[in-house]
Amino acid sequence: MQNTLTLRKIANLSLVTILGGSIVVGTLLVLLLRDYERITEDKELSKSAYESLFILKYDTERLLTTSDLEQQKQTLLESQEEFQKHFAALTPNIREKEEWIEFKHIILSELDQVRNVLDNELFSKQNMMEKSLLRRLGEGLNANENSAYYIKIRDLNNKIVYLKQYEDFLLDELYSFQFTKSQEAEKHLNNAKIMLVLVIIATFVLLVILAYFVSRSIKKAENSLLATQENLKNALASLEEKQIILVRQRDILDHSAHYDSLTSIPNRLNFVEKLNHYILLNQPFAIWFIDLDRFKEINDSFGHSIGDGVLQEVAKRLENTIGSGSVARFGGDEFAIIVEHAQSKNDTEGIIKDFLERLADPMNVGGYEIFITCSAGASFFPNDAQSAEELLRNADSAMYQAKEEGKNTYQFYTQEMTQKVYERLTLENSLRKALTNHEFLLYYQPQVDMTLGKIIGFEALIRWNNPEFGIVSPLKFIPIAEETGLIIEIGEWVIEEASRQITQWKDEGLNPGYIAVNISAKQLIHGNLEKVVPAILKKHGCLHEWIELELTESIIMNNPDYSKNILMQLSEMGFKLAIDDFGTGYSSLAYLKNLPINKLKIDKSFVDNLPEDQADGEIVKSIIHLCKGLNLNIVAEGIETDKQGKFLLKEGCLIAQGYHYYKPLPSLEAKEVLTSDAYQYR
């Protein structure tokens, strides 16, 4: 009985002990499981924040490579909102992580700045031309661009790189946080297992009961861990795949930074690096700088696709001449080559002659037979220069000298060329300020009716009075204005001043007839003449028939269909149109009859030797006969003798212009002529 009681006491005590221990262990187990759930929650929240930040980083990188910035901006905004949502859910559990929160604020701030930059019109579809930021940055490097546009692109690229650094920092922190939480979860599970073993020792029944519930919890935890492990494995695989893509893109960018995308030959950056390498070797060599002659006319006449085909064919012929490793395209229609071990003209002259001969063969591009020539200039290391920059500058100076000597030739650098280029650059810089400084003025050369001996109109001739150079000949500054594009502004100023002057003369009761102004090729193609000229005349109250527009044959034939369209519009507005320097160009008579022309001007070169030169006389007679057949007025330019005037009048040319009648006059002298009695020519 006592034993029974003892056993019962022992059993009861054991039961109480087991139950008490089970309760204590159960309580501790519950607390451990609650901590485990909290840790698991932290891990899941950090995982969501990590994945959303990973996607945000990927979308940030896509800004550099995508050709559709508008779509990528929207995608980036959605990724940013997803990241903010998941990070906000995690924030209450990481209040001690002040650095993380600071990283988040920096990332969001940088994202806002990037989007603000991308909203700029410079990054519109029209300006980006369906090219990625990396490609535009590469093109800027190719062309050595320093414009505000390419500076903006570089700044944006730097800002994105800066943003990606902070995204990487925070990704590392979140990944470390996930790893720590996983370790804590495993630690809590191990403690729970130990307690379960103790419960098993205390009571088998309680162990079975507890084991059921604990086993179920463990199974769920293991499944969750396995799922997390699988997700991390997939994320790592995705990251490795993206890393491979980024490496490929880096290789592509490196290639595009060193090779021309159109011709596949080395670009300027590549060429300069090679120059610096050869300079370090301190072995003599030469470089040729090559520029295609009148390439712009090919683009204007046949289109840019044909022009691109011509550039590709030129690159092939260069490679066939000297080999692929020594050739480069500098951009536009400029190329360069390196000739190793060249110390004198004899070492390199044969190469450029060979290339000129190859280039002389016609090209078949897009179904067109294209003929093109080039001008080339050479400089030698170390005799002419000892740096890449100076070598290129000197070769460029020699090339320009070749162009001045008639194109389709080559020149070797001399010291005198540097001075000539300096003078030209100084003149160009002064020309850029001439309009602002009011240095231009118009002279007016009368056009005379030889039958009446009276002035019927004027031609406006621009003069440049520079404080440093004095009166600069138009033969010097007009070609520079054409090359730099300033000719459009200067041409508009001429029209404005001529309109103002003739309106003033008309208001004063004078009868100047009309004023003829010369139109350049760039004005005709790019100057919006059909809009600009009427607006200028309206501003001054000048009638359209008071202004005559003069164009040369070559200007019209550069782009005949477009020219005809513009001239038709101007003619319908009431403007008089004249072809200047007729006979020196290459217009076809069949095409000429379809143009709305009112007047032809016989070039001075056909008048100079009249009436003695029989050939010139026959040409002039033919032009006059042609004009009569087409019902066109005729003006003879450059008449300097009475014999010339009488010959032309006899053959039927009634209007004359030249020093025999009047030289070009400043406005005050022109007014005096108009106010004199009958203003007959002297």
**What would the pLDDT profile of 287-342 be if each residue is shown by its tens digit?**
999 999 988 878 877 888 999 999 999 999 999 988 766 899 998 899 999 999 88
276 vs 270, 271, 348, 389, CA distance in Å? 10, 9, 20, 10
For 20-34, 402-416, 463-477, 661-675, which range has the lowest pLDDT when averaged over its residues? 20-34
User: Is the pLDDT higher at 316 or at 223?
Assistant: 316
115 vs 7, 175, 678, CA distance in Å? 81, 27, 72
pLDDT digits over 126-181, tens only? 666 566 666 666 665 555 556 666 777 777 777 777 777 777 777 777 777 777 77
- pTM, rounded to two decimals: 0.54
Domain check: are 400 and 500 in the same one? Answer: no
Domain check: are 245 and 394 in the same one? Answer: no
The DSSP bridge pattern shows strands 547-552 and 665-666 to be unpaired
In percent, the amount of the chain with pLDDT more than 70 equals 84
Assign residue 639 the CATH number of its domain.
3.20.20.450
Q: Where are the alpha helices (DSSP H) in 511-630?
A: 521-526, 529-540, 553-558, 560-572, 589-592, 604-607, 614-629
Predicted pLDDT at 681: 47
Last residue in a domain, options 258, 278, 307 = 258
Res. 31 pLDDT band, cuts 50 70 90: low
Assign residue 372 the CATH number of its domain.
3.30.70.270
Whether 631 maps to a domain, the answer reads yes
Q: For 220-228, what is the mean pLDDT?
A: 82
Domain check: are 318 and 445 in the same one? Answer: no
Domain check: are 364 and 459 in the same one? Answer: no
Predicted pLDDT at 92: 76
Last residue in a domain, options 258, 276, 297 = 258
The tokens of 487 are what?
A: 């000719």
Whether 383 maps to a domain, the answer reads yes
Domain check: are 247 and 278 in the same one? Answer: no
Whether 432 maps to a domain, the answer reads no
pLDDT digits over 626-679, tens only? 888 889 999 999 999 999 999 999 999 999 999 999 999 999 999 999 998 554
Predicted pLDDT at 202: 66
Domain check: are 254 and 280 in the same one? Answer: no
What range does the domain containing 448 cover? 438-674
Structural domains in the chain (count): 3
Predicted pLDDT at 4: 44
Distance CA 642, CA 653 (A): 14
Domain check: are 286 and 222 in the same one? Answer: no
Whether 431 maps to a domain, the answer reads no
Distance CA 627, CA 374 (A): 37
Whether 682 maps to a domain, the answer reads no
Res. 275 pLDDT band, cuts 50 70 90: very high
pLDDT digits over 537-593, tens only? 999 999 999 999 999 877 777 677 888 899 999 999 999 999 987 765 545 565 677
Domain check: are 234 and 318 in the same one? Answer: no
Last residue in a domain, options 240, 258, 276 = 258
Whether 136 maps to a domain, the answer reads yes
pLDDT digits over 479-525, tens only? 889 888 899 999 999 999 999 999 999 999 999 999 999 998 888 88
Domain check: are 458 and 599 in the same one? Answer: yes
For 65-74, 198-207, 302-311, which range has the lowest pLDDT when averaged over its residues? 198-207
Name the range with the highest mean pLDDT among 30-34, 46-50, 69-73, 605-609. Answer: 605-609
Angle between helix 474-484 and 487-507 (nearest 10): 120
pLDDT digits over 361-419, tens only? 999 999 988 889 999 999 999 999 999 999 999 999 999 889 888 889 999 999 888 88
The amino acid at residue 313 is E
Whether 429 maps to a domain, the answer reads no
pLDDT reading at 13 higher than 60 = no
The amino acid at residue 457 is G
Domain check: are 288 and 372 in the same one? Answer: yes
Domain check: are 138 and 228 in the same one? Answer: yes
Res. 3 pLDDT band, cuts 50 70 90: very low
Domain check: are 607 and 548 in the same one? Answer: yes
Distance CA 467, CA 429 (A): 13
User: Is the pLDDT higher at 95 or at 410?
Assistant: 410
Whether 468 maps to a domain, the answer reads yes
Distance CA 616, CA 320 (A): 46
Task: Return the percent helix, strand and coil in the chain, to nearest 5.
Answer: 65, 15, 20
Name the range with the highest mean pLDDT among 18-22, 193-197, 199-203, 307-311. Answer: 307-311
